[in-house]
Structure 1
Amino acid sequence: DHLVLPHTDPLDRHRITGQHMRAIFLLIVGFSHALRLAQGLGTEGGGVGNTYGYACIGASKKFKFCDTTLDIESRVSDLVHHVYSRYNSYVGQQLTARESSSIPEITLPAYYWGTNAIHGVQNVDCLSSGRCPTSFPAPCGLGAAFNMSIVEDMAKVIGLELRAYLNSGIHHSLNTWSPTINLNRDPRWGRNVESPSEDPMMNGQYGVAYTKSLQEGEDPHYKQAIVTLKHWIAYSLESYGNYTRHNFDAKVSAYDLEDSYFPAFRASVQKGGALGIMCSYNKLNGKPTCGNKDLTDILRKDWGFKGYITSDTDACMDMYKSHKYVANWTAAAALCLQSGTDIDSGVTYAGNLHNAVGERLVSSADAKAALSNAYRMRMLLGLFDPYIPSPYRNISQDVVGTQSHQDLSLHAARQSMVLLKNEDKVLPFKRGARIAVIGQAANDTLDLLGNYVGPICPDGMFSCFPTIFQEISKQNTNGETQMLDNITAVSEAEDIAKGADYVILIASNARDGGREGMDRVTIGLDNEQSTLCQRVLEVTKANGIPTVLLLINGGALSIDELIPNSPAILEAFSPGVHGSQAIGECLFGDYNPGGKLPVTIFPKDYINQVDFLDMSMTNKAGRTYRYYKGTPLFPFGFGLSYTNFTIKVLSPPSLRLSTSTLLPETSKTPSEDVTLARVTVVVTNTGSREGDEVVQVYSMPPNKTYNHPTPIKTLVAYQRVHLEAGERKQIDFELDATAFSLVNKEGSRYLASGFHEVVISRGHGEVERVTVELSGDSITMSNMTKWW
């Protein structure tokens, strides 16, 4: 149809009559209505607010898949039938990310799958009101807190702010492509800033905390949002030597898969209920992860995964273009879909899936299964129930970046601070002094933020949050603060340091510590920063000037040459937008740092001891605290305080159990959740001020000869506690079967009989020990399915 305006005289063609206006108005209204239907912006509110992003509005309410009295599987089945039988050409686009296209004929709106939310909502702009999404410290710092409640806080904030953007008609997505729970297996990996730890259990707890708090909100009938765990699996190489993540074949033993690489994902799925997985770029033992049905079977059949699987961006294409695993693009689409990759992030499905089905390279059942998994997620979010009230529909823009959310981010930054050295109680500094702030990151907020940074300030920049220098100047009341951030101006830095009462010397790898797509080739400072830091430390030592070496980093920094002359060292990782405030509060003593290292800080020569391309955790010098045979600069779990603590175990020094009594009556496999041993610890603050301590519990395997590797020790429990001066608290640790399990070379996990030593530690100082004897036969807990 077209609109014919009434005829007018040419001499009067510029006059707009009432009839003209009415015709134009009807045209605009009609177009607006059609546009709102196509986008999911309903014209009927029903008392539930904006229907942007929702299906089943307008005439489409008549479809069976919109009938809210039916169960979700019946509705999913009907929707898949509609799409596959009537709109077959849409199938590839429906299974495409970042955005699945709309189907106007049934008013099915487009859906954006890939909102990154590693430590705050990304892929959006700040609101017109000036509010911006809340940004938290990077995961490398969150891990240092040894407190998963701050991860829960962050995920809840992300879920609420995602809902606010949807409800405001701005961003049609409730899926996050986060968290990253890959193991920090080597300090050279460019994305260590995204990983919370080198410990499998901690990464699992991080994944569980993030998943539960993001997915489960105020309304028990719907998911608040949906996570996508990444990257499945054995992914920790970007670009190194002749390899990139697009062509690397990670050769991983069955032992290492079960012992190190699988646990975080298993826990996030089974204990967290994660509903999304992202398969990675790399091959694993000869097969691309996105084209490996055996890996999908582990998720769905062995672990009970009920969600959707997406590829990393263009990982399906990589099977043809980079891995040369299939002959053409159509075959890549077929293999990706057959293997259980429901969503293709890229153009492989959109451009080739129709041909793959037509050439019978893939069955209609596979396509329908992928559609079902994708649509089920959107239905679980309530996006097919536009007229049913839900607390989520009431979440407005007012929640975005609120002060309470910012306070949570600040709290997380404070908890992530790790005090590595404090000779002669150099810290805390006194206010009202002459302070020199020296270093590359001294006056740049961006250096504190890590990667995957969302919008921070309304102007698209970062200056609405203070730099380290600006915050120290603010907190140094009645004092004088100088700054130098030119790392080549060594002589000037020496002069400034000489004239100061205190020096804050910053060492940072924020600009050269690797990134997505690029790994590090060294793990120390670049030559210019190293020279600057050494010269300043020589001056301050010679002149007796109290100095703190402040570390800003994603991947751990090896500072071998700086430790001897640094009287105090504070590790801040990538502390986020409130990092400067948290740093200042620690340095002036307003906050007592209580974080612990979630990674090992190795000597710089570590890169010559272990081949980065070798995925083994045990070869040569070994990886992570669980297998490293050398002496670290600072060990995993280490962290000091401005006060003093002691720990004392109240449990008996030895416990004896029989493995035969641990089997459930209905199973030959012990449950991972069954408590095998309880260890009670009393921690006391013996110092003169309040502070936090992290009590850590490790399990050491029986001293036997094995035909498979065993870890030196494994973290099995921990708890962070806050104590006032003189206060004591009792902590009860319940240790399950996993705490006393080992893995054999076939990848089977088993409850190991023998004498296990449980070591209770603060990460330094005295340790307490309890011996747990498991008599009887070892019992298999799980088996590995091998495809290689």
Structure 2
Amino acid sequence: MVDICRDPRWGRIAEGAGEDTWYGSQVAKAYVRGYQGDDLSKNNTIMACVKHFALYGASEAGRDYNTVDMSRLDMFQDYFPPYKAAFDAGAGSAMSSFNIIDGIPATGNRWLMNDLLREKWGFDGFVVTDFTAINEMIHHGTSEDLQDASVQALKAGIDMDMVGEGFIGTLSKSLDEGKVTQVEIDQACRRVLEAKYKLGLFENPFQYFDAEKAKEIVLSQEHLDAARDIAKRSIVLLKNEKGILPLKKEGKIAVVGPLANSKEDMLGTWAGTRKTDKVVTMLQGIKNVAGDKAEILYAQGSFFTMDNFLLNRNKKKEEYIIQTEEQSKQLLDEAKKIANKADVIVAVLGEPRAWSGEAASRSDISIPECQIDLLKEMLATGKPVVLVLSNGRPLTLSWENENVDAIIEAWHGGVEAGDALADVLFGDYNPSGKLTTTFPRNVGQIPIYYNYKNTGRPLIEEFKFTSKYLDVPNDPLFPFGYGLSYTNFNYSNFKLNSKVMNANDKLVATVTVTNTGNFDGEEVVQLYIRDLVASVSRPVKELKGFKKIALKKGETKQVSFEISEDDLKFYKSDLSFGTEPGDFEIFVGGNSRDVLKESFILQR
């Protein structure tokens, strides 16, 4: 999934690369290279399917399957580039999205599927619908019935109908009635058959069904080691005051929270086989890494929520769960008992896996009240408290940030989530993860993202009639690119090799980064650019590069970025793509907010 999303209420933000167009494009290309390799007929590759084409991540109000309404300029500027990057990388297939674009469902939108995708971008693979998307065109009000919807989809450029049975059930009749042609049907069939040919399925239809190979590699130790490494590198340290972290492997450590010992919830949304026998929970990981050096105490402490509507929203009546206040109090009392015995408390809170992903939009993205009640009781002990978050989306954490000294964003970390967290908790790995999406102060700020366009009345605190809220600052709680380390990094001596950039030239930006703290660590150095004056309004910052460096305690390194004219291109009002001469600002730093600035001129 390569959909750009700037609304964390949307559950499927958990599946994508976040809010940034440039970064999302880099990830999209990497996906394709990783899946497809250099030869699709090899049995260690698989055809990439680019989804959801297009604009699915911009669903209104963050509600899944909802309508999308935006200008063509915003489509090309902000949302289309990751799809195009994936197609340019050679992706063999695409999946249509559920939403409307310019009032027409993507699945029946010929401008999108044919004029843009095939004719303008040169895509020659096959397009499959998302689950029953053809049938849903009836509900959109653009098709009379399944036969009509199937005709529209085929003529738009859809080659395969996922599950809906519109093609298999109606196209023969439509052909007899002259509503579609044999050429159109043959063209769709050819594209699907060509994909099978490239995958080597005519020679061996079962080459992807090797049970013995699956036993050998699925959840193999090599893969588990990789999962642990990826998970720990994805963890983001949001706050660390009073030197709480890293924890020492000693004394008594209380681990509490409904996500502390839940195997299923570590896997997150759309997780492969969902086998839980090898899943390492947060509790088990802490035990594994601490060993016999510390005593680990555990209590669940709370339910996920006491909101029965939320708890049972996607359940059948016979599956309803009922939780009582008495049960909730009992869980809380158990947590208070072990907390009073402990030297330090680790509270693992957030969202179960069912609250993020598809059909999992939330209007309130705060931690539920019963979990906060648990956190308050832990803080009331006066013991050091580390808040560990396990969730699929950004959460609103204003109260938590004001009251808790250490916060770790661990996400739904997968099969090795617990070991990865413990590696970070105890300092065996110094966290280096950065946020790929903005964390709002409250839900009223949404949509909020770092690369916004300025208004005619930008914020000036002392003036009334400027763009601001009365009840909350404009800026987010945690900005894009943010993430702390157990050490500190100082940025200095930022400079350009020239103040003027000619067309087809390259500019070199350099910055000195020094590890001024007491730990070895890694830092993601980020480069941003701003076009100050253009024919269309441009963002206040745009990510254009990043480099991850490792620095020993006290070590200094110089980091360089090369900027070309391609980095300055944008879509203009006529949708032409190019640059305009003029003034630019360039920024470098450890996140999108805390940066050093230089400037240059592009001239022709």
Q: Corresponding residue for 1:569? A: 407
2:540 to 712, 720, 738: 712
1:277 to 87, 91, 94: 94
Is the CA contact 1:258–1:749 (under 8 Å) kept in the aligned structure 2? Answer: no
2:130 to 312, 326, 334: 312
How big is each residue's C-alpha offset from its partner over 1:306-343, in whole Å with a ceiling of 9 and x where there is no partner?
211110011011112x1120222111111101111111
1:775 positional shift: 2.0
Is the CA contact 2:17–2:24 (under 8 Å) kept in the aligned structure 1? Answer: yes
Letter in 1 for 2:510: T
2:391 to 547, 553, 558: 553
| Residue 582 of structure 2 is aligned to residue 754 of structure 1 | yes
Q: How far apart are the structure 1 equivalents of 2:43 and 2:602?
A: 44
| Residue 210 of structure 2 is aligned to residue 382 of structure 1 | no
CA 1:491 to 1:220, structure 2 compared with 1: closer, same or farther past 3 Å? closer
CA 1:244 to 1:190, structure 2 compared with 1: closer, same or farther past 3 Å? closer
Is the CA contact 2:260–2:282 (under 8 Å) kept in the aligned structure 1? Answer: yes
2:516 to 658, 663, 686: 686
| Residue 487 of structure 2 is aligned to residue 643 of structure 1 | yes
CA RMSD of aligned residues (A): 3.1
Q: How far apart are the structure 2 equivalents of 1:563 and 1:621?
A: 32
CA 1:762 to 1:287, structure 2 compared with 1: closer, same or farther past 3 Å? same
1:500 positional shift: 1.3
Q: Corresponding residue for 1:400? A: 218
1:723 positional shift: 2.6
CA 1:279 to 1:620, structure 2 compared with 1: closer, same or farther past 3 Å? farther
Corresponding residue SS for 2:539:
coil
Q: Corresponding residue for 1:652? A: 496
| Residue 10 of structure 2 is aligned to residue 189 of structure 1 | yes
Q: Corresponding residue for 1:423? A: 241
How big is each residue's C-alpha offset from its partner over 1:124-176, in whole Å with a ceiling of 9 and x where there is no partner?
xxxxxxxxxxxxxxxxxxxxxxxxxxxxxxxxxxxxxxxxxxxxxxxxxxxxx
Letter in 1 for 2:357: R
Q: Corresponding residue for 1:507? A: 349
Is the CA contact 1:222–1:380 (under 8 Å) kept in the aligned structure 2? Answer: no
2:433 to 574, 595, 604: 595
Q: How far apart are the structure 2 equivalents of 1:529 and 1:553?
A: 13
Q: How far apart are the structure 1 equivalents of 2:333 and 2:214?
A: 54
Q: Corresponding residue for 1:525? A: 367
CA 1:393 to 1:305, structure 2 compared with 1: closer, same or farther past 3 Å? farther
2:32 to 211, 216, 223: 211
Corresponding residue SS for 1:236:
helix
Is the CA contact 2:488–2:515 (under 8 Å) kept in the aligned structure 1? Answer: yes
How big is each residue's C-alpha offset from its partner over 1:748-767, in whole Å with a ceiling of 9 and x where there is no partner?
43313211111011128963
After TM superposition, list the pairs within 5 Å mapping 1:89-488 onto structure 2. Answer: 180-217=1-38, 224-236=45-57, 245=65, 248-270=66-88, 272-296=89-113, 297-320=115-138, 322-346=139-163, 347-386=165-204, 397-457=215-275, 462-476=276-290, 477-487=292-302, 488=328
1:686 positional shift: 3.3
Q: How far apart are the structure 2 equivalents of 1:250 and 1:386?
A: 42
Corresponding residue SS for 1:372:
helix
CA 1:185 to 1:590, structure 2 compared with 1: closer, same or farther past 3 Å? same
Letter in 2 for 1:592: N
Is the CA contact 2:60–2:67 (under 8 Å) kept in the aligned structure 1? Answer: no
1:237 positional shift: 6.7
Corresponding residue SS for 1:506:
strand
Q: Corresponding residue for 1:734? A: 562
CA 1:771 to 1:636, structure 2 compared with 1: closer, same or farther past 3 Å? same
Letter in 2 for 1:681: V
| Residue 537 of structure 2 is aligned to residue 722 of structure 1 | no
Letter in 2 for 1:560: S
Is the CA contact 1:701–1:756 (under 8 Å) kept in the aligned structure 2? Answer: yes
Q: How far apart are the structure 1 equivalents of 2:495 and 2:475?
A: 31
1:379 positional shift: 1.0
Is the CA contact 2:59–2:99 (under 8 Å) kept in the aligned structure 1? Answer: no
2:474 to 630, 642, 655: 630
Q: How far apart are the structure 2 equivalents of 1:219 and 1:745?
A: 39
Gaps of 5+ in 1: 1-179, 663-674, 777-788
How big is each residue's C-alpha offset from its partner over 1:91-145, in whole Å with a ceiling of 9 and x where there is no partner?
xxxxxxxxxxxxxxxxxxxxxxxxxxxxxxxxxxxxxxxxxxxxxxxxxxxxxxx
After TM superposition, list the pairs within 5 Å mapping 1:666-685 onto structure 2. Answer: 676-685=506-515
Letter in 2 for 1:375: L
1:511 positional shift: 5.1
Is the CA contact 2:269–2:356 (under 8 Å) kept in the aligned structure 1? Answer: no
Is the CA contact 1:223–1:381 (under 8 Å) kept in the aligned structure 2? Answer: no
How big is each residue's C-alpha offset from its partner over 1:257-282, in whole Å with a ceiling of 9 and x where there is no partner?
01211011111111x21111101111
CA 1:722 to 1:382, structure 2 compared with 1: closer, same or farther past 3 Å? same
Q: Corresponding residue for 1:115? A: none
How big is each residue's C-alpha offset from its partner over 1:525-554, in whole Å with a ceiling of 9 and x where there is no partner?
1121122223322x14xx2x2221111110
> What is the TM-score of this pair, normalised by structure 1?
0.66
Letter in 1 for 2:190: S
Is the CA contact 1:701–1:710 (under 8 Å) kept in the aligned structure 2? Answer: yes
Is the CA contact 2:12–2:358 (under 8 Å) kept in the aligned structure 1? Answer: yes
CA 1:519 to 1:638, structure 2 compared with 1: closer, same or farther past 3 Å? same
Q: How far apart are the structure 2 equivalents of 1:620 and 1:492?
A: 52
| Residue 332 of structure 2 is aligned to residue 490 of structure 1 | yes
Letter in 2 for 1:490: L
Corresponding residue SS for 2:134:
helix
Corresponding residue SS for 1:580:
helix
CA 1:479 to 1:657, structure 2 compared with 1: closer, same or farther past 3 Å? closer
Query: Larger C-alpha radius of gyration, 1 or 2?
Result: 1
Corresponding residue SS for 1:373:
helix
Farther off after superposition, 398-407 or 286-295 = 398-407
How big is each residue's C-alpha offset from its partner over 1:200-259, in whole Å with a ceiling of 9 and x where there is no partner?
111111111010121015788899210101101111377969x761xx431111221012
Corresponding residue SS for 2:288:
helix
Q: Corresponding residue for 1:516? A: 358
Q: Give the number of equivalent residue pairs.
A: 557
Is the CA contact 1:232–1:279 (under 8 Å) kept in the aligned structure 2? Answer: yes
Q: Corresponding residue for 2:321? A: none
Q: How far apart are the structure 1 equivalents of 2:203 and 2:280?
A: 44
Q: How far apart are the structure 2 equivalents of 1:571 and 1:244?
A: 24
Is the CA contact 2:288–2:419 (under 8 Å) kept in the aligned structure 1? Answer: no
1:770 positional shift: 3.0
Farther off after superposition, 401-410 or 256-265 = 401-410
Letter in 2 for 1:336: A
1:608 to 419, 422, 444: 444
Farther off after superposition, 758-767 or 418-427 = 758-767
Is the CA contact 1:239–1:518 (under 8 Å) kept in the aligned structure 2? Answer: no
Corresponding residue SS for 2:545:
strand
Is the CA contact 2:51–2:96 (under 8 Å) kept in the aligned structure 1? Answer: yes
Is the CA contact 1:442–1:485 (under 8 Å) kept in the aligned structure 2? Answer: yes
Q: How far apart are the structure 1 equivalents of 2:335 and 2:100?
A: 48
Is the CA contact 1:761–1:768 (under 8 Å) kept in the aligned structure 2? Answer: yes
Letter in 1 for 2:298: M
Is the CA contact 1:410–1:582 (under 8 Å) kept in the aligned structure 2? Answer: yes
Letter in 1 for 2:183: A
